[in-house]
């Protein structure tokens, strides 16, 4: 069974953010991830991790003004300096939290910017981030996102991500492979995981349709979990899904899939 991390931006949202760490631990999670830590005191987050024996697995680089509709700024030619400042901030938080890797969200291609220009900007920003993060001992991943949930997002498929990874040319950049997004965009989940295991640094899950917990949609997670074990995936799998009802009710799937459930 792969190592599962609770995504605290989507799970336990019935609770204030700082109380979600304890809730995740009560349900047997050993690792946590979330979108962003930057609105919270880093020492307070570290205290929660330590108090509940949790590993900080992943968070995203600063992605602009999320509430205003930004979904990343790495592909925006007008925001390169802002992106670089965000890399510095992410390093500060990652070091304090013992977080081994951070994710880069490419963002929506700005109006008036061509796809080729967006990809060139993304490639340059990833080169910068990969180098700076490597100096700090932190890995970088990048995530392809489906065009249904985020129309206009600059990075959409595994093939495109692999091409950009090659163009960046850094061993410190791998892919964050989100099963939900890639099922929508291209399917063929198990063969893709097998073929590109060496290029994948992090995996996330949700079922589809609906982006709910495993067992609510078309994906066979019993098979996929066994497959990840069989191909030797050693990383974490982030549970980045929206509970179909409440978090507690939805987490019944953990017991079915063999994870200790104490909540």
- 240 in active site: yes
CA distance 215 to 247: 14
Could you tell me where the DSSP H helices lie in 52-114? Answer: 80-97
Active-site residue among 82, 240, 256, 262? 240
- In sequence order, the β-bridge partners of residue 142 are 104, 175
CB 140 within 8 A of CB 173: yes
Q: What are the distances in angstroms from CA 83 to CA 88, 123, 155, 237, 239?
A: 9, 12, 17, 26, 27
Name the DSSP class of 72: B
**What does the alpha-carbon distance between residue 100 and residue 58 come to, in Å, rounded to a whole number?**
7
Q: Alpha helices, DSSP H only, in 98-174?
A: 115-135, 158-168
Backbone angles phi, psi at 233, to 5 degrees: -65, 125
Alpha helices (H) along the chain: 20-26, 42-51, 80-97, 115-135, 158-168, 179-185, 189-195, 221-231, 247-250, 252-256
Residue 91 to residue 101: CA distance in whole angstroms: 10
Q: Find the catalytic residue in 143, 213, 218, 256.
A: 143
Work out the burial of residue 242: count CB atoms within 10 Å of its CB; fewer than 13 is exposed, 13-18 middle, 19 or more buried. Answer: middle
How distant, in Å, are the alpha carbons of 33, 102, 204, 233 from that of 138?
15, 7, 19, 19
Q: For this structure, is 143 an active site residue? A: yes
**Catalytic residue annotation:** 143, 240
């Amino acid at each position: 069974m792969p190592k599962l991390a609770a995504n605290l931006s989507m799970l336990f949202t019935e609770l204030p953010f700082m109380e979600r760490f304890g809730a995740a631990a009560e349900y047997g999670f050993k690792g946590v991830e979330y979108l962003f830590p930057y609105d919270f005191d880093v020492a307070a987050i570290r205290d929660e991790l330590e108090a509940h024996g949790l590993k900080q697995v992943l968070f995203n680089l600063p992605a602009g003004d999320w509430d205003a509709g930004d979904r990343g700024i790495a592909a925006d030619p007008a925001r390169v300096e802002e992106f670089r400042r965000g890399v510095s901030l992410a390093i500060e938080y990652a070091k304090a939290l013992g977080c081994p890797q951070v994710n880069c969200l490419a963002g929506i291609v700005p109006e008036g910017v061509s796809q080729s220009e967006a990809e060139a900007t993304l490639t340059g920003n990833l080169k910068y981030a990969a180098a700076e993060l490597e100096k700090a001992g932190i890995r970088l991943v990048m995530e392809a996102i489906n065009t249904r949930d985020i129309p206009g997002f600059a990075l959409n498929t595994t093939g495109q991500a692999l091409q950009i990874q090659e163009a960046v040319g850094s061993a410190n950049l791998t892919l964050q492979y989100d099963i939900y997004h890639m099922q929508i965009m291209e399917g063929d989940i198990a063969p893709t995981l097998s073929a590109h295991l060496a290029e994948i640094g992090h995996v996330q899950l949700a079922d589809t349709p609906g982006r709910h917990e495993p067992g609510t949609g078309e994906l066979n997670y019993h098979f996929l979990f066994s497959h990840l074990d069989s191909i030797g995936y050693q990383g974490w799998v982030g549970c980045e899904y929206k509970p179909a009802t409440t978090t507690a009710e939805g987490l019944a799937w953990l017991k079915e899939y063999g994870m200790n459930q104490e909540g």
